Structure 1
Amino acid sequence: MKKIINISVLSLVSFFSLQCSDERFDVLPNDKDSPENIFTSESNFRVALDGAYDGFKGDSSSNPNGVTYYNGDTGSSIILGDVLADNLILNTQGRQTNKAAYEWSYNPQTSAVTALYSSAYLVISRVNNVLDNLHKVPYTSFMKNIEAEAKAIRAIAHFDLVRAYAKIPTQSSDAAASLGIAYVTTFDPQVKPTRDTSVTITYDKIIADLQDALTKINTTNGTIGRLNKTSVLGFLSRVYLYKGDYVKATQYGEQCIAISPSVGEASNFVKIWRDDSNDGKLFTILNANLAYDNVTVGVAYNQNSSGIRSEYNVNFDLFTKYTNSDVRKEAYVLTANYGATPYNHVIKYRSRAGSSAGQVVDVKFLRSAEIYLNVAEAYMKSSASNPVRALQLLNILRAQRYGTVASPYVPGTETGTVLVDAILNERRLELAFENDRFWTIKRLGQSVVRSDFGSSVNGGGGDAPTGALKTLPANNFRFVLPIPQDAINLNPNLVQNPGY
């Protein structure tokens, strides 16, 4: 941990400004000044906190490993939740990136599987540096909002860590009492924190930060690149769903939906993924197409090289689940040749409208569509069951994915377990390639079962997963990622996860 936090100390060495005329890029990547000089004005607190947002994106200057949450072709969170699961298949014509994750062969020494551990704690250290210095200026309404944003960021980063490096409470009967993660709440490079004694404790700390943020944060904060009351409500819905508190998941999810009811209209849906519409977005990591901020988040999926050269293609089993009337098929997938072979390529992160920079788009961290699915599922599992509302929410989403003006969607009429299955199926289709699939399988206590299809356009090819690559049994120890060994070397108080 000491090394991880020291990275953040180095990242606070000098300010620099990034200006852009487009309103979507008003969040400035200004996180670099000496700590002694930063915290003297409200405007400097804003700049420092925007630097914490930038930590979700990052580049090689803010992380010596060159890989952060959503940067780099190996270890990026933008692909992790799908490559570990059954939505993708390794393309042998690609560069074999993320192969250890795909093969479930990761170990504490395999730093290439994901940079999430160091990346998340970098973000956390930045917000803690802000929170530790709040006392240096008057506690105005502006600073109250700064505190709220910082606590929400801290909660989000810890949540990403705990679902990856610990069990999920709903995963198994022993999960809630199993080991949590180190929840860091102060900026001190000398501290060697221990892991929480239970996952429940970690989730309670995440919720406490989000709840405190909810009472203080602004209704809006000027851009989808900053958190606000609506997005915090959405994150509370997500966290409570994972915790298994379905009453709270519906409560906060419904409040979020009431404020932001659009799931992304069909007419805007393709535009959302080309950064030409903000419809249905709750929180986005902005990625300005400029020299510093030009982060190629989509490179983990494919590159432009005499066509589209994909590292991973859409698993044909998933591809066939998208009907021709489904607008997501156009938004998410492009069928095109690489060389002489046609493939189904993931294009969610391929390009921004009006830009020639390949793989450079904003990261859609949280969307209203997910909240609809969270609430619908929670209603079916809650002690305050409401299957009528669950079906209504599901149909609202489906109407914007399958319906057209000429041929409106005919609402479904599912009930019981068939309705639950329909909600989960829609979740897979909606959130494919958004770092959700593996974690959903994990929280449901299910196995990853990959299909027998190969990577080519109709599921052919000799690269179909077999043997140990075919199935990851439910509750296998590899559903919990290993704590990186270099972190344990620097902080012996950290305990490695079982099996490693």
Structure 2
Amino acid sequence: MQNFKTMKYLKYITIVILTFSLQSCSDFLEQEPGTQTSIDELLQNKEGVLIALKGLYRDVEANVRGERFAVYSDLQGGNIKFTPTASGNSTGQITAGVNIRELYSFEDTAETSNFASFYSANYSIINQANLILEYTPKLNDATDVEKNQIKAEALTIRAYAHFLLSQVYCQDYGYTADASHLGIVYSTESIKSGLKYPKRETLATTYSLIVKDLKSAIENYSETAAMAGPTYSYFNKNNTKALLARVYLYKKDWVNAYETATDVITNSGFKLMSSADYVAQWAQPDLPVSEALLEFSIPRDAENTVGGSMSSYFGYNGVTYAKYVATNDLINLYENNDIRKQLFLPVNLQTLVNGLLTPVTYNFTRKFQDNAGYVAIRLSELYLIRAEAALENNQANLALQDINTIRARSNATLLTSTSNLKEEVLLERRKELCFEGHLFFDLVRNHKGITRNDGCISTNCSMTYPSLKFVLPIPQSNINLNENLQQNESY
């Protein structure tokens, strides 16, 4: 039995390494088809390592922009709902997308998990990052500064992938008093380095390793990106600090969350978008908003044709439309004068109501039209991280200032009292960061239940905290490969 499992696992290793090679150096493989040799040859010089790093960013972008993760948190939390089918025998009917159908109802299964590809893709990304980290110190044609920069970006990607996995597959940090509940497998060596059957760490250890990787990355960054291209699409010292601030927030390390967010706000050189061009910046094609600390570049072919963007899920072009729109639960949170309300485009779509096709109004977001990329981190989030951390540090007046900075930019009524400020912070996060992947995770880390009213077609529209279904199952195929990989409870 052990030999059979070992053979299956070695087959998995081969697939992962081959996938990495094909994505990163297909031309080279045509000359040297041996998989192991290809990786060794590819990563022997700076050019090859940078090709691999570019391929790694491409995989990261595809994984977070993929429908499953791109809509997961807002859909589960209640910010978005489905549009009716546009044509055919099912015109006007509203159904959940096939890629998220089970998890939407909190009924995902280990055997056929909607997120199986997300789990595997993250560990493939981690393995690629580890390969780059293992080969980069040996480069003879790169300076120490260049090698440190490559190391920093790979470390950040490794930490980011582990953090994403912890969000989806682990209960929140405060689920147990000391975060001793299950975290994830934290991989710091490539599969190529040897066959292992690792166990899941505790969540406390998982977060300590994420923080360690990010702090190490920050120490190694230079002022120059490893590769040419739009700097907003690569990890750098500023957006890595921003990611670290987010991790501290989830870890409930309020002092470090406050200090790190302040560092980014004060020293990054980024400024909040102004009220005057807030809507226009979101509506511009191709480019990110000016306060985006990180937005991964969308894929384009040699003819500059876009291979995929966020508009695949949220787009409306006057004729065709995508699957997801804002719920009235979200729309109704905005004051009439709030400029963020202008980010919603109301459109009447034919919908089956009591058996009759009837025009019903749906609100598409203007955030992700045209060739919109995945917004990973924005400066507005840092103000809201700092506000929440300040409040938890018993500095309510400082929290009030940061919340009002965001509200003033939006032309919303300023808060004058520090009472109920915790709810105000979470409400402001929901309004400001909608469709950017925060709501469900915000609710769970604050030990709040899920209430989905408008447009909910799930068998479970409301869920109370705590729930074993607030995390997804480890795909059964991965459990079968590793006898030490413990499944989440209830799956």
Aligned to 2:160: 156
Match of 1:214 among 218, 222, 245: 218
| Count of aligned pairs between the two proteins | 445
Aligned to 1:245: 253
Match of 1:258 among 225, 244, 266: 266
Aligned to 1:445: 447
Could you tell me which amino acid in structure 2 is paired with residue 450 of structure 1? R
Evaluate the alpha carbon distance shift between residue 306 and residue 234 of structure 1 in structure 2; reply closer, same or farther with a 3 A threshold.
closer
Q: Which has the higher helix share?
A: 2
Aligned to 2:3: none
C-alpha displacement of 1:118: 1.4
Q: Structure 2: which 5+ residue stretches go unaligned?
A: 1-8, 28-35, 86-93, 351-357
Alignment pair present for 1:287 and 2:298? yes
Match of 1:15 among 25, 30, 40: 25
C-alpha displacement of 1:255: 0.2
Name segments (4+ residues, structure 1) moved above 4 Å.
Answer: 302-306
C-alpha displacement of 1:86: 1.4
Evaluate the alpha carbon distance shift between residue 107 and residue 430 of structure 1 in structure 2; reply closer, same or farther with a 3 A threshold.
same
Distance 2:195 2:337 in 1: 55
Alignment pair present for 1:315 and 2:327? yes
Aligned to 1:79: 71
Could you tell me which amino acid in structure 2 is paired with residue 296 of structure 1? G
Match of 1:69 among 64, 68, 71: 64
Post-superposition CA distance 1:440-497 (Å, at most 9, x none): 111111111122x3x4xxxxxxxx457x422111011011111011111222221100
Evaluate the alpha carbon distance shift between residue 124 and residue 210 of structure 1 in structure 2; reply closer, same or farther with a 3 A threshold.
same
Post-superposition CA distance 1:331-386 (Å, at most 9, x none): 3x21112235233333356433xxxxxxx32111111111111110011112xx32
Distance 2:272 2:437 in 1: 18
Alignment pair present for 1:204 and 2:204? no
Evaluate the alpha carbon distance shift between residue 195 and residue 443 of structure 1 in structure 2; reply closer, same or farther with a 3 A threshold.
farther
C-alpha displacement of 1:159: 0.3
Alignment pair present for 1:494 and 2:482? no
1:420-439 equivalences under 5 Å are: 420-439=422-441
Aligned with 2:233: secondary structure?
Answer: coil
Could you tell me which amino acid in structure 1 is paired with residue 372 of structure 2? V
Distance 1:152 1:5 in 2: 25
Evaluate the alpha carbon distance shift between residue 373 and residue 235 of structure 1 in structure 2; reply closer, same or farther with a 3 A threshold.
same
Aligned to 1:103: 105
Larger Rg: 2
Alignment pair present for 1:272 and 2:282? yes
Match of 1:391 among 372, 383, 400: 400
CA RMSD of aligned residues (A): 2.7
Q: Which deviates more from structure 2 when the two are superposed, residues 481-490 or residues 256-265?
A: 256-265
Distance 2:172 2:330 in 1: 25
Alignment pair present for 1:469 and 2:472? no
Distance 1:175 1:115 in 2: 31
C-alpha displacement of 1:414: 2.4
Post-superposition CA distance 1:250-308 (Å, at most 9, x none): 01110011124523222332323534454111111101444687333336635659734
Evaluate the alpha carbon distance shift between residue 278 and residue 306 of structure 1 in structure 2; reply closer, same or farther with a 3 A threshold.
closer
Aligned to 1:22: none
Asked if structure 2 preserves the Cα contact closer than 8 Å seen for 1:283 and 1:364, the reply is yes
Alignment pair present for 1:135 and 2:137? yes
Distance 1:282 1:306 in 2: 31
Could you tell me which amino acid in structure 2 is paired with residue 229 of structure 1? K
Distance 1:81 1:135 in 2: 38
Distance 2:282 2:199 in 1: 39
Asked if structure 1 preserves the Cα contact closer than 8 Å seen for 2:133 and 2:154, the reply is yes
Asked if structure 2 preserves the Cα contact closer than 8 Å seen for 1:314 and 1:346, the reply is yes
Could you tell me which amino acid in structure 2 is paired with residue 324 of structure 1? N
Q: Which deviates more from structure 2 when the two are superposed, residues 428-437 or residues 94-103?
A: 94-103
